[in-house]
Amino acid sequence: MQGDKAVKSNHFNLESFIREHFASLCAIAFKLTGNSETAQDLAQDVIIKFWENRQQYESLESIENYLFIMIRNESLNYLRGLAREKKRYEKVSLNNDREDSLWDTIIEQEANLLLNEAIAGLPPQCKRIVNLSLTGKNTKEIADELDIAVNTVKVLKSRAIHKLREYFLENDIWIEF
């Protein structure tokens, strides 16, 4: 029976302790973190830590001052943890960007090798026209350089593209022209 009174007394004391300090701890934590849910979690953590070790604090002159220091420290630790997490995320994101860039480079090089291999199998005149097209020259410039008619360039370029498509289809390679 005596034990029940002690439990009820401790329960009542904890309840009144929470009523007395929770709101002010939440307000301080909110001011520091800017997040009400985080502030409530931190205030709850501080109350639990204080309550579990309350025997150590019996000689304190001001519980409120001590709780203020505890909630401030918990809030600052939380913010430091967020900053560390953000830095880690940025590093991971930067590494992912580098990896993506590396993969893009590898894929581009592989595509270039496949394209060069396919172009190598074209008839000589078609090969020249495709290579000149890849350097950015238009049909008229290619015709002037090779000293052939514009229509001939168009026909040979069309045949070359057709043969390249066939090559890629035969080798089960998807490429867009």
DSSP code per residue over the chain: -HHHHHHHHHHHHHHHHHHHHHHHHHHHHHHHHS-HHHHHHHHHHHHHHHHHTGGGGTT-S-HHHHHHHHHHHHHHHHHHHHHHHHHHHHHHHHHHHHHHHHHHHHHHHHHHHHHHHHHHTS-HHHHHHHHHHHTT--HHHHHHHHT--HHHHHHHHHHHHHHHHHHHHHTT-----
Per-residue confidence of the chain (177 residues) as pLDDT tens digits?
444 343 344 545 888 889 999 999 999 999 999 999 999 999 999 999 999 888 887 788 888 899 999 999 999 999 999 888 888 887 776 666 666 677 777 878 887 888 888 899 999 999 999 999 988 999 999 999 999 999 999 999 999 989 988 888 887 777 665
Q: What are the structural domains of the chain?
A: 2-91 (1.10.1740), 121-170 (1.10.10)
